Amino acid sequence: MHTALARRLGLRLPIFGFTPSPEVAAAITRAGGMGVLGAVRYTHPDQLEEALVWMDANTDGKPYGVDVVMPMKYVGDDKLDSLGDMIPEAHKRFVDDVLQRFGVPELPEGADTPGGITGWMHAFARAQVDVALRHPIRLLANALGSPPADIVAEAHEHGVLVAALAGKAEHARSHTEAGVDIVVAVGHEAGGHTGEITTMVLVPEVVRALPDTPVLAAGGIGSGAQIAAALAMGAQGVWLGSVWLTTQEYRLEPAQPSGYSVVTEKLLEATSSDTVRSRVISGKPARMLRTPWTEAWEAKDSPGTLPMPLQGLLVANAEARIRAAQSRELMGTPVGQIVGAMNQVESVADLMSRFEREFEEATDRLLELRG
């Protein structure tokens, strides 16, 4: 499983694993891929600094990356006070009504106020970039569009490659024009923010559009055979996110008596039909588990979602209340359609080994077909 991009970055495997968990990211890196730590959940630069110090100490000197969120377009500015004033009262009442309907209590007294959309805003993301570039990262990724030109230039000055996600070939071309080094072609099946074009169609389109730029395939990939298919279509590697949610190292949610969190239990039970693209998280379409919370926003009495970043600010407290109450009905998570194959909990190392074994089996089958 060797590609030019993997060799350039010193990776044994061309597997890039996006995750909000430092433990998972470090395990991916140690297993020969590149763990990419999502920064959006860190609402203060010191929190990200602490996580990256831990990453430095637990990656055996092997390469890892950081993913920030710097949307190309959003309403308002970077002033939280003015943004709050832009949220209609009808939307606030709707959120309160849904939570009351499902018996979700207020946050416990003294609980931290959720940071909400701070990680989606450029001022905060720039602070995260400053922190990240103080560490020996090899990749800086932006989940929503091309990073600003000065960020790309600064990353390059530090010897850091820049990646950006794209759901269309035209978006991929604009990324390279902005100086992006690696394009992640994200298909419709993917978890989180995703577009309308499926992975099988999108990856070859982007590869053809960018003959001189490494392309990573993302969306609906959760086996070695699917990795082989991605490389056969011309990708230089794969970008995986959903599959890490049911690994042993992923422990961002409190465990239940079963030993698993509510979210993990729901993921293990879910089929590939149990996800939906909803704007409830951020105002942009993101694939996640279907729950009564996502369905409420599609109902006739819904006021509709708000544009980024207002929607994230609107639901921040609600999401915190749902998790604090461990509401099994309403709790969900961004996840792709590959969730239907995520039916066991295994370590990152075992999952990576399985990918290698399945890749070899798939390529052997192809060689047999050649006669």
Residue ranges of the chain whose pLDDT lies below 50:
74
The pLDDT of residue 111 is 76
Element (H, E) at 16: strand 15-19
pLDDT (tens digit, 9 = 90+) per residue, 106-140? Answer: 998 877 666 555 555 667 888 999 999 999 999 99
Q: Are 316 and 114 in contact (CB under 8 A)?
A: yes
Counting residues of the chain whose pLDDT is more than 70, the rounded percentage is 94
pLDDT in tens, 181-238: 999 999 999 999 999 999 999 999 999 999 999 999 999 999 999 999 999 999 999 9
| Segment (H or E) for 369 | helix 348-369
Query: pTM value?
Result: 0.94
| pLDDT at residue 105, rounded to an integer | 95
Given a contact cutoff of 8 angstroms between Cβ atoms, the answer to whether 227 and 245 are in contact is: no
How far does Cα 55 stand from its chain's mean position? 18
Tell me whether the omega of the peptide bond preceding residue 309 falls within 30 degrees of 0, making it cis: yes
Distance CA 117, CA 134 (A): 24
| pLDDT given at position 162 | 98
Query: Within its chain, how far is the Cα of 218 from the centroid?
Result: 10
Q: Give dist(CA 321, CA 111) in Å, integer.
A: 10
Given this model, what pLDDT does residue 71 score? 67
**Whole-number pLDDT of residue 309:** 81
**By the 8 A CB rule, do 19 and 37 touch?**
yes
pLDDT for the residue numbered 114: 61
Sheet with 275-278, side-by-side order of all strands: 192-193, 286-289, 275-278
> CA neighbours within 13 Å on the CB side: how many for 215?
30
The reported pLDDT for the residue numbered 84 is 74
* Number of helices and strands in the chain (H, E): 14, 11
CA 161/CA 16 separation, integer angstroms: 13
Rounded to 5, what percent of the chain is helix, strand, coil?
Answer: 45, 15, 40
Domains, the chain: 4-74+121-291+332-369 (3.20.20.70)
For 332-346, the DSSP string reads --B--GGGGG--S-B
